[in-house]
Amino acid sequence: MSRHVYVDETKQRGYLLVAAVVVVGDLCTLRKELRALVLPGQRALHMNAERDARRRAIADTIARMNIEVTVYDAGKRYRTDRDRRAACLGGLIADECRHHRSRITLEVDETLRSWDKQRLIELTRAADARSRIEYTHATAAAELLLCIPDAVAWCWAKGGHWRERIRPVVTGVREV
């Protein structure tokens, strides 16, 4: 069975890359749950653009989902954000190599799209996993499930009660 992994990052208080694994059979159900949270006129959910009451509702909905989330924490240990991202992507690919097949969808950042592709080619080639790990970029408006890593990254970076609210789905935190 193929794993679907949705990835986003935050640079708030260091550098975090968050990967949410969704079981294939749950994709439609989870999209439906998240779509119910999208307000009229909104194209997607994004924690930075929401009020606290909505953030709580989004985080609580995600915390009840049947998902597994890993937080890759590069902190400020590397010279640049690209170095931090490379370390996080390296951790993600190493983890995904343990599985038969993975499909990774990253939140698109046009300034990093070609850079990401090159790193992912290098990482999957080095791990001899090019045939088992697929990757693509998408916007949150095109792929609603990308709001999961966005929300987890936002809550985790905020810390305190926000981190506790989302903790039920966080199955691992890796310093890279």
Strands (E), 120-162: 133-138
Within 8 A by CB and 6+ apart from 60, the residues are 165
Assessment of whether the complete model's pTM goes beyond 0.85: yes
> Do the Cβ atoms of 59 and 166 come closer than 8 Å?
yes
**DSSP state at residue 100:** S
Q: What is the pLDDT of residue 1?
A: 58
Query: Is the pLDDT assigned to residue 2 strictly greater than 80?
Result: no
1 or 123, greater pLDDT: 123
Buried b (16+ CB within 10 A) or exposed e, 4-41: bbbbbbbeeeebbbbbbbbeeeeeeebeeebeebeeee
Amino acid, single-letter form, for residue 25: G
Bridge partners (DSSP) listed for residue 73: 16, 175
Average pLDDT, the chain: 94
Which pLDDT band holds residue 13 (cuts at 50, 70, 90)?
confident
What separation in angstroms does the CA of 91 have from each of 17, 38, 123, 168, 172? 10, 32, 10, 22, 12
Q: What is the pLDDT of residue 25?
A: 80
Residue-range domains of the chain with CATH: 2-175 (3.30.420.10)
Which pLDDT band holds residue 153 (cuts at 50, 70, 90)?
very high
Q: What is the pLDDT of residue 4?
A: 96
Q: How far apart are CA 160 and CA 152, in angstroms?
A: 13
* Residue closest to 163 by CA, chosen among 55, 37, 19, 81: 55
